[in-house]
Structure 1
Amino acid sequence: MRLFLTIGLWLCIVIPAQAQEIKVLESESRLPVPGVTIYNQTKTIMVITDFEGMASLNSFTDSEYLYFEDLLHKKLKIKKETIIANNHTVLLEAKIEGLDEIVISASKFEQNKRDIPQKIIGISAKEIQISNPQTSADLLESSGNVYIQKSQLGGGSPMIRGFSTNRLLLTVDGVRMNNAIFRSGNLQNVISIDPFTIQNTEITLGAGSVVYGSDAIGGVMSFYTKKPQVSYSDKLYLKANAVARYATANKEKTGHLDFNFGLKKWALLTSVSYSDFDDLRMGSHGPNDYLRPEYVVTNNGQDQIVSNDNPKLQVPTGYDQINLMQKVRFEPQENLSFDLGVTYTKTSDYPRYDRLIRYRGDDLRSAEWYYGPQQWFMGNLQMTKISSSSNLYDKIQTTLAYQNFKESRNDRDYRDVMKSMTEEAVDAVSFNADFEKLLSPKTELFYGVEYVYNKVKSIGKELNIETNETAPIVSRYPNGSTWQSMAAYTNIKFKPNHKFILQSGLRYNYILMHADFTENNQFLNLPFTETDLNFGALTGSAGISWLANDILQWRFNLSTAFRAPNIDDIGKVFDSEPGSVVVPNPDLKAEYAYGGELGLTLNFDDMVIFDVATYYTYLDQALVRRDYTLNGETEIMYNGELSNVQAIQNASDAKIYGFEAGVRLNLTNHLKLTSQYNVTGGKEEDADGSEVPARHVSPNFGNTHFIWQKNKFLVDAFAEYNSELSFYQLAPSEQEKDYMYALDDNGNPYAPSWYTLNLRTQYQITKAATLTASLENITDQRYKTYSSGIASPGRNLIISLSYSL
C-alpha cells in the first residue's frame, strides 16, 4: 500500500512538470525551430528553445501572455493555457518579406536587410535543400539574379550586372577566395564550394569595394558555411545528416554525410561529400549546331576521329569531385568564441569541352584539352568577442586564413605527339580585423584592417607521348611572383529614426606586386626581366534607405570601386584564341568603377510585394585584351604556330546599365507566386574607338515559380527563360567563336532565346527522412546559356533522399 501511495505521489509531481514542456515548430515545414526566445509581458522571465525546438514553461503562470520571437519568424503573442490546449505545440510563421532578413555581408556584422541601401539576395540552407543544386554555381543560378556561364561540365562562371570573373568577389566565411591568378576569362573556382556545407549565401548586387577591396566591382558572393553547435549543457548534443542523390542527364551519383558533436563549450562538425558525373546529355529540340557528331579517341598512341552514336551526348564531359570539411568551435565564455575551419576539395581531371569542339579545316583541332585536378585547401581561425566596456568596439572579429590553390592545363593537337602542360599553385595568407561600435543610439560605426599576401608557383613543360620525354616550355605565369594588399576601411550607419537610414564608407588600399620573368625570357625574349608595381586606391560609398510608410521603401546608393591588376594581368602567357598569344605587360594601373543604384520596394500587407531596381556603372581605364607589340613585332611563334601578339592593357572604358524586377504574390496561405526578371545592357570602347557590346552583358533572363506547400508536402512548378542575343549584339570576341554558338540564316553566330518548364517536389516522409524529386527541362529543350561552350542538360530527373537524426 505504501508503494502505491509513493508511486501516486510521484506521478502527481512529474506529470504536471512534463506537461509544461512545449515544442516550437515552423508552421509550413513542421520542423523544430531552435533559438526562439520566450518571455512574458514584463520580460522578468525568459527561456530559449533548444536544438529540438523544446522549452519548459514551468516558470510562467497559465493565465499570462507569452511572446515568441526570433530573427526568421513573425513574433507571436499567445496565452500559456492556449498552448497547453493546443497539444503543447506552438507554430511560428516564417517572415515573408526579405526586408526583415538579417544579413552579414554588407559590413561583416549582422544588420537588418531594410537598413542596407544596396540590393542583397539571401539563400538559406532550407532553400538550398529544396533547390537541390549539383554545384554552388547552380545554387547561385537558382537565385534568379546571377547568370552562369559554363565552358565545361566541371565549371560555372557567374555574371552579375554585366560583370564577371575577376570583377566579382567570392568569399567563404569572410575570407576572400579571389587570388593573384584569378583571370578575366571564365572562372571555375566556385564549384570548389560544397553546397551541402552552406548555411546561407548572400549575393550583393553592385560594388562592395569599401568592405572587401579589389575585385568587388559588379558584386560580392558571400558563402557562410555551417558552424558546429555546442550543447550549452553537460549533455552531448549529437546531430547527423546523410544525403544520396541521382540525376539522369549526367548520371550524377552524389553522397553526403555530416556529424555534429556538441559539448558544453566545445563542438565539432565533420562533413564529407562525393559526386561522380558522367557525360552530359543535351536536349532533343533545338539548334543542330550544338550536337556532338564526332570526337577524338586515342588508342596505342594513335588519334582517330570516331562517330558519336548519340550526338546529344557531349563526349567527353564527365568528372568527379570530393569535398571535405572539419570545423571546431570553442566558447569559453558567453561573449567569446573561437572557430577553426579546415576545407579541402579536389576534382578529377576534367575536359574543357569548349576547346574540344573546335575544328581546323575538316578535322577536330584538339585530341586532348583538359584541366588537371582543381584543388583548394583553406584553413581559417576566427575569433569573435563582444565587449560592453571597451571604448574601441562592442564587437570584434579577427580572421587569420591560409589557402592553397592548385590547377593545371593539358592540351595536345590532333595527331600531334607533343602535349603542352602547365601547372599553377597559389599560396594565399590573409588577416582581417573587423570592429563594430555603437557610438550613440542613432549612430553605429564599422571599421577594419586587412592584409593579403599571395605567392604564385608556375611551371610549363611539354611531353612527347611517343618517347615520354619532357622538356621545359614557357610557363603560364612568372614563377615566384608575389601580390600583396594592405587596407583600412570605415563605414558609418546613421539612423535618426526607424524610417531613415544613411550609410557611408571609405577604404584605402595599397597594392604591391613583383614578377620575375627571367625563366620565361629564354622562350619569349622579353625586353624586361622583372617588374614591380606599387600604387594606392581610394574608394567610397554613400547610400540611404527610406521607409516612407508601411508600404513603400526607397533605396539609393552611390559608390566607387576598383580592381587592381594581378599577376594574371601583368604576367600571363597563353593562347587566348586560335592564332593569338597573350604576353606580359608590366605597365598597368587599377581600373575604377563609378556607379549608382535606385531601388523601390512595395509591400501591400505581405500579400503583394514588388521589388525593382535600376543601376548604372561607368568603368574607367578598363583592363582589356588588345593587340600589342613585343620587341617591335606584332607576331611571334608560340607552341609551333605563328600567333598575333596581344596583352592586357588599360585601353578601354565601359558603360553598364540595367533594370531588375521581382514580384511575390501570396495567393493563399499555401500558394504563392514569385517571379524575377533582369535586363542588362552595356557598351565598351573597342580598339578603333568605336562602341561595341560589352563582353559579359548577359541576355535578358528570369524565372517564375508557383509554389504550393502544406504540412509535409511542397510542389514548385517553375519556368526559366532567356532572350536572344543576335550576332550584332554579341561582343566582338564572342562573334569570333562560331564553334560555340548557333548560326543564323546568314551563317553568323548568335545566342538563341530559350525556356524550360520544370517541376520540383519535396515530401517529409518522417521527422528524419525527406524525399526531394525534380523533373527539369520537361520539354527536353536543347539550349546553351550565353557564352557557354557546353549545352545545358536535357530532360533531367533528380531524386534525392536525406536523413537526419
Structure 2
Amino acid sequence: MRGFHLACLKRFSLIHVVYMGLLSLIIAPVMADRPSEEDLTGLSMEQLLNVEVINASRLGQKENMAPTSISVVTAKDIHTFGWRTLGDALNGMRGLFYTNDRNYNYLGVRGFIHTGDYNSRVLLMIDGKRMNENIYDGAYIGQEFVLDMDLVERIEFIPGSGASIYGANAYTGMINVVTKNAQAIDGAQLAGEIGTFNAYKGRATVSKVWQNGTEGLLSASHYDSSGPENLYFREFDTPSANNGIAHNMDGERADRLFGKLKYGNLTLSGGYVDRYKRVPTAAFGTIFNDPGFYTDDAQFYTDLIYQNKLTDDSTLLLRGFYQGYDYRSDLPYAGGRRIVNRDLVSGRWGGGEAQFTTTAIDRHRLMMGLEYQYDQKQHQANFDKDPYVLYFDSDGSGHRVELYVQDEFAIRDDLLFNVGLRLDYHHMVNSMQLNPRLGLIWNPLDSTTVKILYSTTFRAPNAYESDLDAFGIVANPNLKEERIRTYEGILEWRDGYGLKVLGNFFYNEMTQVLETEPVNAEAMSFFNNGAYTTYGFELESEKRWDGGRLLKASYTYNLMTDEARGGHWAVASPQNLFKLHYAEPLFGDKAMLGIENIFVDQRKTLQGGMAEPYYLVNVNLSSDRLIPNLDLSFGVYNLLDNHYQMVGGDGSDNDLRQDILRMNGREFRFKAVLEF
C-alpha cells in the first residue's frame, strides 16, 4: 500500500552555524558599494519591493507591504543555480529543507516535517490555482511536479499560517509557482540534458505573440534516469536478499505537457505529468530487490481565468477549473510464494472562484472572494492480483465552500492594518472553520519595515487518513481538523541600492495533529493526538549588483518540541539551517557561475537514531551569450561527494525498515537550450 511513515530529526554545533550566518550577514553590507540594475528576468529583492506579488498576497501589495515574510526566487535564479526540480529550488530558500525516501521528496518548514504525508500540510499553487490532489492532499515537488522548471517565471513562498486566507492545506506554508508567458520565449526552444546515472531529458517549447495581443505557449518534455546501479541497505544484508544490494532499482521517468493561451481578459492553461519510479527500499514489507516494486503518479489540470478591470479602482476575477490524479503501485511480497499487491487511487475534482478587489473606499483596499470545489471522485482500492483478494475499496465525494474577505486599512501613510477572515465548509470536517489573519505593518523610515502578525488556520483530514481500512489500519471517520496558531515579528531594512536585510521571530502552536496510534495489539488508526510547539528566528541578507553578481545568506534556528510525548525535541526536525548563495559573472558577462552551500543540522530518527548534519555544495556554470541562440550550462551537484543522510522509517512492515537512508554522491549535468 502507499504507506505512511512519519518523520525524524537531529542537531549540530550552534555556535559554528551562528558564526557563519552572522559573518555572511556582515559581508553583504560591506560589499554594497553601487546601485543594482537588473532586468525583469532576474529581479532582486530590492526591486521586488516595487513589484506587486498578486498571487502570493491576494491583494497585490508590494512585497514589503504584504502581511507576511514572502520569499521569492526568479527564473534567473533557477538558471544560475541549475535547480532541476521544484524541491531543489525550495531547498535553497530560507527556512525550508527537504528529506527523501528514494521515492518522494517531503518539504520541511521551520522545523516541521512529517515524512509520509506527501506534503499535505503545504499548499501548492500554480498561478494562484490550488494543485494539492484530493486523495492524499499531496503537494508533489520532485519529478512528479507537473511543470518543467524551464517554464517557471518565479516561485513565491509564504511560511506559516500567514497564508491562512487560502484555507485548508496552507498549514505550514504556501508555495505559488508563476508560469512564464509567451513573451518570455516568443519563438521555439529545443532543450536537451544528460547527467550522472544515465539521466537524460529533452524538451520542446513553442510560443507565439500575435499582433492582436493573443499569446500562446505549448511545451512537452521527457525525463529518464537509471539511478545508481547498486544501493546498499544493511537492514537486508543476508544471502537471500542479495547481501543488501538493490540492483537497478532506482530508475525514474517522467513525461510532461503544458499549454497556456491568453486572449484579452481570458487565460486558459493546463498541464499533465506522468511519473514512474522504481522503489529500492523494500518498503511496506515487500520483497527486497524485486524489480516489480514501483509507483506511478499521473496528474492533470485545466484552468480558465477571466480578469477584468471594472473601474479605475475595482477588479473582478473569475476562475473555473477541472483536475485529476491517478496513482498505481505494484508491491510484490512473499506469501508462501511471490504475490503482487496492487494499490490504486483515482481522484477527480472541479470548481470555481470569484474574487472582487476594490480601493473605492478611502484608505482601504478591500478584497472579497468565494471558492467552490466539488470532489467528484475519491476512489481507493487495494487487492492481490493473483490469486485475486480484495482488501480495500472505498469511494467518496463531497463539497468544499470557502468565503474570504481581506482589508488593508491605511491608518496613516506609514502604518497599515491588514485583517483577513476566512470561513470554510469542508466535507471531511464536521464543523465550519473560521480563521483570521491580522497584520500591523509600520514603516518608520523609508528603508525600514516592521511587521507584527497573527494568524490561525486548519488542515482537514484527507480521504486516505479517514477511509483507509486495511493492512493493520482501522478506518476512523470521526477525525477532526488539525489546528495551528502562528505569531511572527519581522524587521526588514533596505539601503536603496539592492541590499536587503531581514530578521524575524516566529512561534507556532500545532494541535490535533493526525498521527497513528495503536487501537489493539494488531491494528492502528489515525487520531488527533499530536501536538507540537515551535519557536525560532531567521536572518537573511541579500545583495545584487548590476551585471549579475549576487550574495545571499540565511540562517534559521528552530526548536520544535513534541508536546504529546513529554515536550522532547521532535523527530526529523533540524534545529539549524544555513544557506549561502553566490553568483559571479564571468568572461565579460557572457557566463555566470553559481555556487550554492546548504547546511542541515542533525535530526532524530523514528527508531531512536540520529541522522548526521550535512553540507551540500552545488556549483553551476551557465552561459547564454557565448554562442548566439544557444544556452549552455554545466552543473556539479554535491561537489564534496557527501553521501548525506535522510531519516528513514519506524522499522515496521507498514513503513521503511531503514532507520537512515544514504543519498547519492556527486552528480553531474550538462544542458543545452537552442532557440529559434
SS of equivalent to 1:653: strand
Is the Cα contact below 8 Å between 2:325 and 2:348 reproduced in 1?
yes
What is the SS of the residue equivalent to 1:353?
coil
Residues 715 and 760 of structure 1 are in contact (CA less than 8 Å); yes or no, is this contact kept in structure 2?
Answer: yes
Q: Give the whole-Å Cα distance in 2 for the aligned partners of 1:322 and 1:29.
A: 38
Instruction: Name 2:108's counterpart in structure 1.
Output: 159
Query: In the alignment, is the contact (CA less than 8 A) between 1:561 and 1:593 conserved in 2?
Result: yes
Task: State the shift of 1:281 in Å.
Answer: 7.3
Q: Which amino acid aligns with 1:595?
A: T
- Which residue number in structure 2 is paired with residue 344 of structure 1? 272
- Of 364, 369, 387, 2:310 maps to 387
Hey, what's the Cα distance between the residues in 2 that align with 1:314 and 1:700?
Answer: 35
Give the whole-Å Cα distance in 1 for the aligned partners of 2:396 and 2:576.
40
The letter of the residue matching 2:255 is I
Partners of 1:626 and 1:586 in 2: how far apart? 15
Q: Distance in 2 between matches of 1:29 and 1:804?
A: 26
2:524 aligned partner, one-letter code: Q
Which residue identity does 2:204 align to in structure 1? L
1:269-304 per-position Cα deviation (integer Å, ceiling 9, x unaligned): 11011111111379xxxxxxx84479899xxxxx96
Deviation at 1:95, TM superposition (A): 6.5
- Match of 2:221, as an amino acid? S
Tell me, yes or no, if structure 1 residue 471 matches structure 2 residue 384.
no
CA separation in 2, counterparts of 1:698 and 1:353? Answer: 26
Match of 2:656 in 1: none
SS of the counterpart of 2:353? strand
Determine the structure 1 residue equivalent to 2:423.
508
SS of the residue 1:143 aligns to: coil
Indicate how the Cα distance of structure 1 residues 132 and 571 shifts in structure 2: closer, same or farther if over 3 A, else same. same
State the secondary structure of the residue aligned to 2:90: helix
One-letter identity of the residue aligned with 2:71: I
The offset of 1:546, in angstroms, is 1.7
Aligned residue for 2:477?
A: 586
Cα 1:385/1:185, change in 2 over 3 Å: closer
CA–CA separation in structure 2 for the residues paired with 1:596 and 1:241: 46
Instruction: Note closer, same or farther for the CA distance 1:114–1:183 as it changes in structure 2 (3 Å cut).
Output: closer
Tell me which of 690, 700, 711 is aligned to 2:589: 711
Equivalence map 1:411-560=2 (5 Å): 411-414=331-334, 416-454=337-375, 455-464=377-386, 469-475=387-393, 478=394, 480-513=395-428, 534-560=430-456
> Is the CA contact 2:56–2:156 (under 8 Å) kept in the aligned structure 1?
no
Is the 2:485–2:509 Cα contact (8 Å) retained in structure 1? yes
The code of the aligned residue for 1:626 comes to E
1:65 alignment partner in structure 2: none
Cα distance 1:749–1:151, how it changes in 2: closer, same or farther (>3 A)? same
Partner secondary structure for residue 606 of structure 1: coil
Shift of 1:382: 1.0
Write the letter of the residue equivalent to 2:674.
Y
Could you tell me the TM-score, scaled by structure 2's length? 0.84
One-letter amino acid of the structure 1 residue matched with residue 504 of structure 2: A
Partner in structure 1 of residue 627 of structure 2: 766
What CA distance in whole angstroms lies between the structure 1 residues aligned with 2:158 and 2:101? 25
Match of 2:206 in 1: 259
Take 2:459 and 2:364, find their aligned partners in 1: how far apart are those partners?
A: 30
CA RMSD of aligned residues (A): 3.2
Q: Which residue is equivalent to 2:67? A: 117
CA distance in 2, matches of 1:106, 1:28: 25
Q: Which residue in the other structure is 2:325 paired with?
A: 405
Q: Among residues 606, 622, 627, which one is paired with 1:735 in the alignment?
A: 606
- Provide Cα deviations, 1:493-527, integer angstroms capped at 9, x if missing partner: 122455322211101011224xxxxxxxxxxxxxx
Please name the residue that 1:280 is paired with.
Answer: 228
Q: Distance between the aligned counterparts of 1:499 and 1:29, measured in 2?
A: 27
CA distance in 2, matches of 1:266, 1:670: 32
Cα 1:159–1:101 change in 2 (3 A) is: farther
After superposition, the C-alpha distances for 1:410-456 in whole angstroms (9 at most, x for unaligned) are 21225732221110000011211111111335210011001112121
Alignment-derived partner of residue 322 in structure 1 = 255
* 8 Å contact from structure 1 (residues 383, 399) kept in 2: yes
Mapped partners of 2:531, 2:614: distance in 1: 31
Structure 1 equivalent of residue 10 of structure 2:
none
For the structure 1 residues 327 and 774, does the alpha-carbon distance in structure 2 shift closer, same or farther, using more than 3 Å as the test?
Answer: same
Structure 1 residues 707 and 133: CA distance shift in structure 2, 3 A: closer
Q: Percent identity?
A: 18
**Alpha-carbon offset, residue 262 of structure 1:** 2.0
Report Cα offsets for 1:355-385 as digits up to 9, x if no partner: 35x999xxx7574673432100111111111
SS of structure 1 residue aligned to 2:218: strand
Work out the number of aligned pairs and report it: 621
* Matching residue within 299, 320, 324 for 1:376: 299
1:706-750 deviation line (CA, Å, top 9, x unaligned) = 32125222122332212223xxxx2xxx423xxxxxxxxxxx521
Seen in structure 2, the aligned counterparts of structure 1 residues 608 and 449 have a Cα distance that, compared at 3 Å, is: closer
In structure 2, the residue corresponding to 1:207 is in which secondary structure? helix
Which stretches in structure 2 are left out of the alignment for 5+ residues? 1-34, 114-118, 650-659
- Mapped to 2, the partners of 1:227 and 1:798 lie a distance apart of 27
**CA offset digits 1:143-194 (Å, max 9, x no partner):** 2432112111x52221112344222111122221223322699986863332
2:555 is matched by which residue type in structure 1?
A: Y
1:177 aligned to 128, 131, 137, which one?
131
SS in 1 for 2:425: strand
- Counterpart CA distance in 2 for 1:609 and 1:421 is 52
SS at match of 1:216: coil
> TM (normalized to structure 1)?
0.71
Distance 1:175 1:184 in 2: 14
Equivalent positions of 1:602-751 (< 5 A) are 602-606=493-497, 608-628=499-519, 634-635=520-521, 644-665=522-543, 671-686=549-564, 690-695=566-571, 697-709=573-585, 711-725=589-603, 730=604, 734-736=605-607, 749-751=609-611
1:135-150 to structure 2, matched below 5 A, reads: 135-150=85-100
Q: Which amino acid aligns with 1:495?
A: A
Please report how far the alpha carbon of residue 694 of structure 1 lies from its aligned counterpart in structure 2 after TM superposition. Answer: 3.1
Distance (Å, rounded) in 1 between the aligned partners of 2:292 and 2:561: 33
Give the secondary structure class of the aligned counterpart of 2:466.
helix
Is the 8 Å Cα contact of residues 67 and 440 (structure 2) preserved in structure 1? yes
Distance in 1 between residues matched to 2:525 and 2:143, nearest whole Å: 24
| Distance in 1 (alpha carbons) for counterparts of 2:507 and 2:412 | 29
**Cα pair 2:518 2:524 within 8 Å, conserved:** yes
2: CA distance between counterparts of 1:443 and 1:540? 18
CA distance in 2, matches of 1:538, 1:369: 47
Distance change (3 Å), C-alpha of 1:565 and 1:306: closer
Q: Which residue number in structure 2 is paired with residue 205 of structure 1?
A: 159
Question: After alignment, is 697-706 or 251-260 more displaced?
Answer: 697-706
Tell me which moved more, 113-122 or 172-181.
172-181
Kept after mapping to 2: 8 A contact 1:398/1:432: yes
Q: 1:512 to 1:779 in 2, by over 3 A?
A: closer
Inter-partner Cα distance in structure 1 for 2:346 and 2:259: 23
Gaps of 5+ in 1: 1-26, 35-71, 74-93, 231-236, 283-289, 298-302, 332-336, 514-532, 576-580, 629-633, 636-643, 737-747
Kindly state the Cα deviation for residue 106 of structure 1 after the two structures are TM-superposed: 3.6
Residue 600 of structure 1 aligns to a residue whose secondary structure is: strand
Between Structure 1 and Structure 2, whose CA radius of gyration is higher? 1
1:605-648 per-residue CA deviation (whole Å, 9 max, x = no partner) reads 536532111111111222222122xxxxx14xxxxxxxx31111
* Structure 1 residues 188 and 590: CA distance shift in structure 2, 3 A: farther
